Chains A and B, each alone.
Chain A
Amino acid sequence: MAIDKGTVEQVAHLARIELGPGELEKLSRQLHDILGFIDKLSVLNIAMVEPASHILPISNVLREDEVRTCLTVDQALENAPSKNGNFFSVPKVIE
């Protein structure tokens, strides 16, 4: 898979990352190389391997529907960069 500048721009936008001058070219090259490495896997014969969505061979990890103590409001808001009363406060998202 080839990575072009457009793809990198799109990925950067989705991740909300702003790219500095020259970074677009540099990252396009690097991502292209990384995907090249990963492509080496395609030489393996995996016809007999079941697809996996998780690396651990465990399943059905569930918990009972039992209440545990929550944080206090003060604890919850302690690390918030900005708060207002009992709320987290963020830049306005709609006009």
Chain B
Amino acid sequence: MRYQTVIGLEVHLQLKTKTKAFCGCAIDFGKTPNSGVCPVCLGFPGTLPVYNKEALNSAIKVALAFSCQIQEHTKFDRKNYFYPDLPKNYQISQFDLPLSRHGYLDIFSDNKTKRIGITRVHLEEDAGKLIHESNASMVDFNRAGVPLLEIVSEPDLNSPQEAFDYLTSLKNIIEYLDVSDCDMEKGSLRCDANISLRPEGSKELGVKAELKNMNSFKGVKDALVFEVDRQAALLEAGQAMVQETRLWDAENGETVSMRNKEGAKDYRYFPDPDLTVFIIEQTMVSRIKSQLPELPHDKMRRFMRDYGLSEYDAKILVSSKKNAQFAEECIRKYPGKDKKNMANWLIGPMLSEANSRKVELHELNVNMEDLISLIGFVENQSISHLSAKLVLTQMIDSQKPAELIIRENNMLQISDTAELEQVISGVIRENEKSVTSFRAGKTNALMFLVGQVMKKSAGKANPKIVGELIKRRLTDA
């Protein structure tokens, strides 16, 4: 039987405010354990939490960027459970009146744009960190109380690749907003995945597994790929699925069931009496909306309109905030009329250099003026496109300017016709067969002859000029 994969993602995002969500403790993860704590975030009796204005602003920005409806009336609830990383034995979170609902995120997957629903974006606080020793667990509360956002997607994702693309898109938008570091390895972005399979065409959702413990986007994708196979095999064998939480074991490349001790979770949510409600006025929402930076999708549209780029190319350039900034500066500084020339260089040779070095465009350390001068050499036909690419590689490796590399390597193209004519005469003399077939109308032969001239000139001949010269010689005669 064919199955449809159904995936929903829960993303937790640490907001990079100066202080924690409910107290004035500075957020600094490099610090000595338990040096960034106070009676509020240690959950001492008699203390009162007060929410951070900047965290609320950032949260509204994120909700708006995902086109969510900001709820006029929102409040905090207590989510009760016992675990030693939680000093109060409850986490301050939001239950029935979250900050926002009904948003969406467009992803670009498999060359198609797909809209993924966002169920809600709500506010909560982070827990502390546990380090397990042989006979005890050690607790560091520096992270306890750091403001978190929970971003819950609808089960609209239908493949591990779509889940990966969703995370990439989400991260890109958050980076543009500059409200979180979004670093999964450092834990500032965390992701749990719900996944189930159902027979193709079925409307009912299958029994899901909740996957945890992935610490990279690729980890999320790998865990989902494994889970699709595992669940399909179980269904195929007619075995009943159990709803359970499974941990991703990256080393062995498998998900492992967490033995379920507690049964169904019962968090006994109730409104936190220590925190008053929030009435979010429309004027506040409009003010924040007007302060939003240009988001990736808008930037892409503008790149297409202003610089004549294709959607595909524009998408690549806006896929990270820093890349987009770098690209736009290059394009603006480029003096040529057709801005697309510069864009082609960025998407072509520059991007492949970046990919092969596993860095981003802006991290290549290519000086913009220098790149412009290199493109100039190609445009006035002083060097071939092929050698320009070699020069670019050397520019990055040696950090020397383009012009110096071209001169040092004697790469200037021979466009001097007198010099070229000599080489051409030789080639024509040595390749009678090709000459005859060219005269018989076989254009391929011309390519061959040009190739021979290029070879003799050690790649320095200007192929366009060579082609024209040969053509003229053979048709005139």
Contact = CB atoms under 8 A, between A and B. Distances in A.
A73 interface: yes
B135 A92 contact: yes
Given A62-B51, A66-B19, A68-B19, A73 B34 contact: yes
Q: Which of A14, A69, A88 has the most CB of B within 10 A?
A: A88
Contacts of A94: 132, 137
Contact of A65 (B34, B55, B130, B137): B55
A70 interface: yes
A58 interface: yes
A47 interface: no
Contacts of A60: 276, 278-279
Contacts of A70: 25-26, 35-38
Q: What interface size band does chain A fall in?
A: 35 or more
B26 A88 contact: no
Given A56-B276, A86-B35, A88-B138, A93 B131 contact: no
Nearest to A84: B138
A55 B273 CA distance: 8
Interface of B is mostly: loop
B37 A65 contact: no
A63 B140 contact: no
Contact of B34 (A14, A59, A88): A88
Contacts of B23: 68
Interface string B252-281: 000000000000001010010101111100
B141 A88 contact: yes
A63 B24 CA distance: 9
A91 B26 CA distance: 29
Contacts, number: 128
Interface in A1-17: 10, 14, 16
A61 B278 CA distance: 8
B82 interface: yes
Contacts of A14: 80, 266, 268
A15 to B, nearest CB: 9
B83 A87 contact: no
Contact of B136 (A53, A58, A61, A89): A89
Nearest to B277: A59
Given A62-B56, A67-B24, A92 B132 contact: yes
Interface in B1-52: 17-19, 23-26, 32-39, 42, 50-52
A86 B136 contact: no
B53 A63 contact: yes
A54 B84 CA distance: 29
A54 B19 contact: no
A54 to B, nearest CB: 5
A71 interface: yes
Q: Which of the listed residues B136, B268, B275 has the most CB atoms from chain A within 10 Å of its own CB?
A: B136
B34 A77 contact: yes
Given A53-B75, A56-B276, A87-B140, A61 B51 contact: yes
Contacts of A16: 82
A71 B37 contact: yes
A76 interface: yes
Given A86-B32, A88-B138, A93-B132, A65 B83 contact: no
B35 A54 contact: no
A18 interface: no
Contacts of B75: 53-54
A90 interface: yes
A36 B277 CA distance: 30
A39 interface: no
A42 interface: no
A59 B278 contact: yes
Contact of A62 (B38, B50, B273): B50
Given A54-B75, A62-B50, A62-B51, A68 B25 contact: yes
Nearest to A14: B266
A23 interface: no
Of A14, A69, A91, the most chain B CB neighbours within 10 A belong to: A14
Contacts of A72: 35
A67 B36 CA distance: 11
B427 interface: no
B462 to A, nearest CB: 61
Interface of A: 10, 14, 16, 53-56, 58-73, 76-77, 82, 84-94
Interface of B: 17-19, 23-26, 32-39, 42, 50-56, 75, 80, 82-84, 97, 130-133, 135-141, 266, 268, 271, 273, 275-279
9 contacts: A63-B52, A76-B141, A82-B136, A86-B140, A88-B139, A90-B84, A90-B136, A93-B137, A94-B132
Ranked 4 nearest A-B pairs via Cβ = A68-B24, A65-B54, A87-B138, A53-B271
Given A14-B80, A59-B277, A67-B19, 12 more contacts: A16-B82, A53-B75, A63-B50, A65-B52, A67-B24, A68-B19, A70-B38, A82-B136, A84-B133, A87-B33, A93-B130, A94-B132
